[in-house]
Amino acid sequence: MKTKPQAKKPALPRIALSSLTLNPDNPRSLSQEVFETLKESIERDPEFMALRPLVIDEHRMILGGNQRYRAMQALGMTTIPEAWVKDGSNLSAAAKRRFILIDNSPKGMSGMWDFEILANTYELDELHKMGFADWELGISIDELDPHDEWKGMPEFKNEDKTAFRSIIIHMEDQDAVDALSKLLQQPITEKTQALYYPKNIVDKIRHLAYK
């Protein structure tokens, strides 16, 4: 008995990103680091966009979600599911202005993180991937293990550039200075404070000098 082929699910309606416009007066901006985290979030969890869609007005200008729109463009998206966009054209002009502010979570309206719940519910690495910095999580630099910061770093060895032996020579007069200069085949001036012997060792340590 032949099985009937399963019917293909109808393609979900999509919207061209080019049909939407950014709000030129959007009061919120992101640092490049935070913007990269936002891109990673959308790429990792695209289904979240339907839960917090872009909100547009009657002119298809974005009231809420300008940075997410920019992130999707940066990810190379040209169309998005229709469910990722919400029509806010029914809002009054005054309500639209308030919504733009509220959507950007102004201080006093975005709440505060409960660090104890975060620590008991999420792994630190997971929080870092979501964009949390140590200072936001209440972690002081004293609590960090400096050895952990070097994990995965390449190992290297420093070549010992210290002198095998150092001595101080007291010279009687200029003739003695000239004689030593000739013997070592190195110039000795009033500014000379140290000499290296043999002379080729100078080239090996020249890059260590302060400039």
Q: What is the pLDDT of residues 46-79, one digit of tens each?
A: 999 999 999 999 999 999 999 999 999 999 999 9
DSSP class of residue 9 equals P
Domains identified in the chain, total number: 3
Mean pLDDT of 33-56: 94
* Shared domain check, 105 and 18: yes
Tell me whether residue 1 is in a domain. no
Segment 156-195, tens digit of pLDDT: 565 555 666 777 787 788 888 888 888 888 888 877 777 7
Average pLDDT over residues 14-28: 93
**pLDDT score recorded for residue 67:** 94
Question: Quick one: which of 24, 106, 14, 80 has its CA closest to 57?
Answer: 24
Cβ 169 vs Cβ 125: under 8 Å: no
Helix intervals (H) in 91-133: 93-103, 115-121, 124-129
The answer as to whether 8 is a domain residue is: no
The answer to whether residue 83 sits within a structural domain is: yes
**76 shares a domain with 55:** yes
Same domain, 77 and 142: no
- Indicate if the pLDDT at residue 114 is higher than 80: no
Q: Answer with the residue of higher pLDDT: 60 or 146.
A: 60
Domain range for 199 is 174-208
Strands (E), the chain: 14-16, 54-56, 62-64, 79-81, 85-87
> CA 200 to CA 80: how far, in whole Å?
67
Residue 105 has pLDDT above 80, yes or no: no
Secondary structure percentages of the chain, helix, strand, coil, to 5: 40, 10, 55
Averaged confidence pLDDT in the chain: 80
Confidence at 155, pLDDT banded by 50, 70, 90: low
Residue 168 lies in a domain: no
**Does residue 204 surpass a pLDDT of 60?**
no
Q: Is 138 left (phi over 0), alpha (psi -120 to 50) or beta?
A: left
Same domain membership, residue 49 and residue 98: yes
Which has the higher per-residue pLDDT, 83 or 163?
A: 83
